[in-house]
Chain A
Amino acid sequence: MASTPEVHTALKVVDLPDLKTDVVSAGFVRNLVISGGAISFELTMALPQAVPASWVEQQKERCEAAVKALPGVTSVHVKASATVRQGKPADRAVMPEVTHVIAVASGKGGVGKSTTAANLALALVAMGHKVGLLDADIYGPSMPTMLGVNQRPDPASDKTIKPVQAHGLSVMSIGFLVDQDTPMVWRGPMVHGALSQFLEQVVWGPLDFVIVDMPPGTGDAQLTLTQRAPLSGAVIVTTPQQVSLIDARKGLKMFEQVKVPVLGIVENMSYLVAEGVDGELDLFGRGSAAKAATELDVPFLGEIPLEPAVSSSGDSGTPIVVGAPDSRAAAAFAALAKQVVTSLGGSADKPLDSMVWQA
């Protein structure tokens, strides 16, 4: 008759390469019952993303085969299921029900930060997560156009408003509150005030992730967000050109200074894929972001190709992850989302409590 450790050892062959673990080490095998030659257990898989039923069935069959091969085993019964892994929000005052807040930043403007933020958020939705998107670019909000929404947010109470829903995302942007052609001619303190309100007076609700589309640069808005938003990490977007990389380094150093973990660098506009172009056309010096990531000792999160559909789908209000999920760019965004989830792990760190001095 097989013993529990024998069954566990046998099941370790059922590896999950995406998670760099196996079903036993991940703690997915539960309620193991050995009754003579009959073995039954539950395979409860908490995964970073939703998976097809066929994949679950496949893992179940692998488990059955592994255990059946043990001497003395006559029957194996496995009850398999998969759920999307939920982290736990840290106990905090700002965005209390949000598990992870992630900044998408660059030093330079025009590198595709907003495009990356929107598509990363939507790729996380496609993985089965509940996601919010905060457009923190007060001077040049892009999200109303990019997501094809422009409606006033509904009030939640006297002093709070609800985010606007678009493509399964909860979205907030200054663009929802002012006319599209009205410039925000504001000094720093006004920007600080508006961003603080977005953090404190928007009822984000229970979400797994809020992606913050940061404005370019390292100024007032960035300081406010790093001081007040409970950032779990930052993704730095750059294009391959040196002018962009120099500023990306500055953005990265800023996050290091304020102790926000840099999840990595992603290279946008890496290469061109288009009809009439043979293969992949290197326009700007593909690969220089990967080199910079190695130099700076941060992960490289991938290459997003320059694909005409990326830009046109953003302009038409349906980002490419939703509009053309089979495109090269959509696949690159999905891979980016996966890496972000993996590097953040499950739950957020509890922040330091404030302290009242006892005289």
Chain B
Amino acid sequence: MTALPQGVKPAQLSQDGPEVLVIQWSDDTVTRHGVRDLRLGCRCAECVDEWTNLPRLDPETVPADVRPLRIEPVGHYGLQVAWSDGHGTGIYTFDTLWELGSSEPKSPSPTD
């Protein structure tokens, strides 16, 4: 999948069961995100070393049933998630979410 096209942004967030975040984008693309994968994919400085880019987060320490508690928009460019394991410093930019979403199986968009 290509980079996030200019001007495209999430239009609606929803939940598909307890473990999947569904993002409907303004161009009608739909991406699906397993929430534990999303937690493990956090790119904040606590989870990824900001100088070396090496992972600092040990997946073993993240509970198997980790869940978002609350998802807040940040400016016009990202989402911040408060997680059930107490983590909450990461900002998932729309670009990142678009990229992460591309590797997930997608549900057909309404125009298909």
State whether these chains interact.
yes
Contact surface of A with B, Cβ cutoff 8 Å: 226-228, 231, 257-260, 351-359
In the complex, B105 has a CB within 8 A of chain A? no
Complex-state Cα separation, A160 to B36, whole angstroms: 40
Q: How many A-B residue pairs have CB under 8 A?
A: 52
Complex-state Cα separation, A21 to B66, whole angstroms: 55
Task: Name the segment of B44-52, B56-64, B73-81 touching the other chain.
Answer: B73-81
> Given the known A-B contacts A352-B10, A358-B15, A358-B18, are A226 and B68 also in contact in the complex, defined by CB atoms under 8 Å?
no
Q: Could you tell me if A259 and B18 are in contact, using CB atoms closer than 8 angstroms?
A: no
Nearest chain-A residue to B8 (Cβ)?
Answer: A259
Q: Could you tell me if A355 and B18 are in contact, using CB atoms closer than 8 angstroms?
A: no
Complex-state Cα separation, A257 to B18, whole angstroms: 31
In the complex, B40 has a CB within 8 A of chain A? no
Complex-state Cα separation, A228 to B69, whole angstroms: 20
Q: Could you tell me if A357 and B69 are in contact, using CB atoms closer than 8 angstroms?
A: yes
In the complex, B33 has a CB within 8 A of chain A? no
Interfacial residues of chain B within 74-109, with CB under 8 A of chain A in the complex: 74-77, 79, 94
Q: Could you tell me if A259 and B70 are in contact, using CB atoms closer than 8 angstroms?
A: no
Q: Could you tell me if A354 and B9 are in contact, using CB atoms closer than 8 angstroms?
A: no
Q: Could you tell me if A355 and B9 are in contact, using CB atoms closer than 8 angstroms?
A: no
Complex-state Cα separation, A226 to B74, whole angstroms: 8
Q: Could you tell me if A260 and B13 are in contact, using CB atoms closer than 8 angstroms?
A: no
- Partner among A228, A257, A355 whose Cβ is within 8 Å of the Cβ of B77: A257
- Give the distance to chain B from A159, nearest Cβ to Cβ, in Å: 21
Nearest chain-B residue to A229 (Cβ)?
Answer: B75
Please, could you name 10 A-B residue pairs with CB atoms under 8 Å apart, sorted by A? A226-B76, A226-B77, A258-B77, A351-B73, A352-B11, A352-B79, A355-B15, A357-B69, A357-B70, A359-B18
> Given the known A-B contacts A351-B73, A352-B73, are A259 and B68 also in contact in the complex, defined by CB atoms under 8 Å?
no
- Give the distance to chain B from A135, nearest Cβ to Cβ, in Å: 20
Q: Could you tell me if B72 and A357 are in contact, using CB atoms closer than 8 angstroms?
A: no
